[in-house]
A = this chain, B = another copy of it.
């Protein structure tokens, strides 16, 4: 089976993995952390900067509020992590927020969460790619000069990779994520060492700049509102935290415990990095303005439209390591890479959520099964298309895109935590063990606090960001919600329509006999095979039928039939207007009219071809006929395939497609092993 050309590939990506060995790829914590945490960890690359940006509206003096905002974000992060640790234990099946809301608050809440998550996947791609391009641009100016183009090219690249079925590999995720984490920690520690021990005065590139306060001397309500807006932006650091609760089945055993530990680890890393970067930004005098062209001043002059405002993490790195030094470049590259990986998680998360929604019939059924390439492809293209549109409209500006983000995250946080409170309430009514009750009370308290806090944040986000762009995200949620409701309604209607009545006999008029017809055009191998197969099915009567579209051919057919002594009777249908479908359909209808209780079985020899253009040359009349026959009651249609030599190519392609790895398979984990008795397959 293995070919010579496989060798270099094997060397590059390791031993080929049979897809039914997927079960062995359960994730240890050290791999699960980077797989699930690249999204939340990468957000420290933009969240601190967003806080400073908002504060700058009130002038540099407002920057001194930033540590307090950082504290609020940290408290929120701890709350959310603590809450989700409860989720992970209570719902180990990987349904995540959708399952929690659906089970405890009903299908409407579940669908709202699902819509919010779908919108967030789009925004994860748009924001992460844009921010990644900005970070890469701090080292490579070309990239930032052609920001929109580079961002869209990156989305296209990720899309192609995922369409081709690049397997999500834990190791692939691990290396850049760990380099990024180690790099940021090294920066924080080295910065602390230089500042506190050596007493160096580290200066960010913008340390000497000043900011023109758009709204100087803010006080009272206006100031509170600004601080709340800054806090909302800081909450971008929390995006992606819920990912682990969707991925519990992918963990090694004990699954829930390992997932909870990974969640805690991730939360700890994220807050440390977030705070460290904020403090270093303060120390090194980073200045960021919402409208740098006019509000950022150098020697008293606005810097103008040509100025590129580098991300806070890169300015801090320049101050600590020195601009353009090796550690600076490595950190910038690792930051960009981890942001691109974060975007890739959306490509993996989408089919995961899609398969769960499909199971509940909110999306086409085939999304539920794995490896259905066509279905996943449509989803991936939808995701990428929406992200490209957003990136194009917002000019790949991560700051403007972040205004749309976060709403969805907090919708699902809040509903999920409310659902968890209900969950504990329900369990408390039946649980009698005092130790368990105590634990449940504790969990309920945590989730209740989480629900209150995240709900509050959701209100703050809506209030402070609605007009800044959050309405776009809400509109997207409504579109998803309406579409999925419509699909579910359709499935429900069909299910009612086809539901079997209780008595097995009275609903489907059972035909008593079956009359078989083989469609014949010429005597050749496919026809002979179809005749042989039709004979095997011992129906009550069997005849061959040909439509006379060409007199010479029909004559030749009759003669050949006689010469070979084929014992199946041959009927020729007249067709004065060279049609095939109409005379055939009318003949079948006349048979049905004669004996309405009989079924008709039509055997059609079908060519299996290898190339798309061959489809134009073969089978067309037969397929058209089949399409019409399906509308005729009491008819079944049997394709008897004949594989042309050229079909070999298509067969190989089909096998490849079957071995295609759906994105998200690693983080989805295998289905819980089926019980023995069910798995039994007769040899």
Binding site for B on A (CB under 8 A): 19-20, 22-23, 355, 359, 364-366, 368-372, 374-375, 487, 490-491, 494-495, 497-500, 504, 507-508, 510-511, 513-514, 523-529, 532-533, 536-539, 548-551, 554, 564, 566, 571-582, 587, 590, 599, 601, 603, 606-608, 614, 616-618, 620-621, 624, 626-631, 633, 635-645, 647, 650-651, 654, 658, 665, 670-675, 678-683
Which chain B residues lie closer than 8 Å to A606 at the CB level? 630
Which chain B residues lie closer than 8 Å to A626 at the CB level? 639
Q: Which 9 A-B pairs have the closest CB atoms?
A: A574-B679, A366-B620, A638-B638, A630-B641, A514-B536, A537-B537, A498-B524, A370-B578, A538-B538
Which chain B residues lie closer than 8 Å to A510 at the CB level? 532
Partner among B364, B526, B639 whose Cβ is within 8 Å of the Cβ of A617: B364
Chain B residue with minimal CB distance to A682?
A: B571
Which chain B residues lie closer than 8 Å to A368 at the CB level? 549-550, 578
Contact (Cβ within 8 A) A508 B528: yes
Chain B residue with minimal CB distance to A628?
A: B654
Which chain B residues lie closer than 8 Å to A635 at the CB level? 641
Contact (Cβ within 8 A) A579 B369: yes
Q: How far is the CB of A282 from chain B (nearest CB, A)?
A: 51
Which chain B residues lie closer than 8 Å to A629 at the CB level? 641
Partner among B642, B658, B671 whose Cβ is within 8 Å of the Cβ of A578: B671
Mind listing 12 A-B residue pairs with CB under 8 Å? A20-B576, A370-B578, A490-B617, A494-B607, A514-B537, A533-B636, A576-B671, A626-B639, A631-B641, A631-B643, A636-B639, A638-B638
Contact (Cβ within 8 A) B533 A628: no
Partner among B504, B627, B631 whose Cβ is within 8 Å of the Cβ of A528: B504
Partner among B372, B498, B582 whose Cβ is within 8 Å of the Cβ of A526: B498
- Per the bound structure, the CA–CA distance linking A525 and B571 in Å amounts to 34
Q: How far is the CB of A673 from chain B (nearest CB, A)?
A: 7
Partner among B355, B536, B577, B608 whose Cβ is within 8 Å of the Cβ of A630: B608
Q: How far is the CB of A680 from chain B (nearest CB, A)?
A: 8
Which chain B residues lie closer than 8 Å to A554 at the CB level? 678
Which chain B residues lie closer than 8 Å to A20 at the CB level? 576-577
Contact (Cβ within 8 A) B627 A654: yes
Q: Known A606-B630, A638-B638; judge A365-B621 contact (CB<8 A).
A: yes
Q: How far is the CB of A78 from chain B (nearest CB, A)?
A: 36
Partner among B19, B590, B680 whose Cβ is within 8 Å of the Cβ of A577: B19
Q: Known A631-B650, A641-B630; judge A579-B370 contact (CB<8 A).
A: yes
Contact (Cβ within 8 A) A487 B638: no
- Per the bound structure, the CA–CA distance linking A668 and B507 in Å amounts to 49
- Per the bound structure, the CA–CA distance linking A510 and B528 in Å amounts to 10
Contact (Cβ within 8 A) B504 A566: yes
Q: How far is the CB of A342 from chain B (nearest CB, A)?
A: 26
Which of A527, A627, A638, A670 neighbours the largest number of chain B CB atoms within 10 Å of its CB? Answer: A638
- Per the bound structure, the CA–CA distance linking A500 and B514 in Å amounts to 29
- Per the bound structure, the CA–CA distance linking A264 and B41 in Å amounts to 88
Chain B residue with minimal CB distance to A501?
A: B525
Which chain B residues lie closer than 8 Å to A647 at the CB level? 631
Contact (Cβ within 8 A) A524 B538: no
Which chain B residues lie closer than 8 Å to A490 at the CB level? 614, 617
Q: How far is the CB of A559 from chain B (nearest CB, A)?
A: 13
Contact (Cβ within 8 A) A582 B673: no
Q: How far is the CB of A70 from chain B (nearest CB, A)?
A: 43
Contact (Cβ within 8 A) A639 B637: yes
- Per the bound structure, the CA–CA distance linking A422 and B614 in Å amounts to 37
Contact (Cβ within 8 A) A372 B624: yes
Q: How far is the CB of A309 from chain B (nearest CB, A)?
A: 45
Q: Known A370-B578, A640-B636; judge A587-B620 contact (CB<8 A).
A: no
Contact (Cβ within 8 A) A587 B364: no
Q: How far is the CB of A81 from chain B (nearest CB, A)?
A: 31
- Per the bound structure, the CA–CA distance linking A551 and B372 in Å amounts to 19
Which of A607, A620, A628 neighbours the largest number of chain B CB atoms within 10 Å of its CB? Answer: A620
Which chain B residues lie closer than 8 Å to A525 at the CB level? 498-500, 507-508
Which chain B residues lie closer than 8 Å to A374 at the CB level? 620, 624
Partner among B497, B564, B571 whose Cβ is within 8 Å of the Cβ of A681: B571
Which chain B residues lie closer than 8 Å to A548 at the CB level? 674, 678-679
Q: How far is the CB of A366 from chain B (nearest CB, A)?
A: 4
Contact (Cβ within 8 A) A533 B514: yes
Q: How far is the CB of A369 from chain B (nearest CB, A)?
A: 5
7 more contacts with CB within 8 A, not counting A23-B576, A533-B601, A636-B640, are A368-B550, A368-B578, A369-B580, A499-B524, A551-B675, A574-B679, A635-B641
Which chain B residues lie closer than 8 Å to A573 at the CB level? 681
Which chain B residues lie closer than 8 Å to A658 at the CB level? 581-582, 628
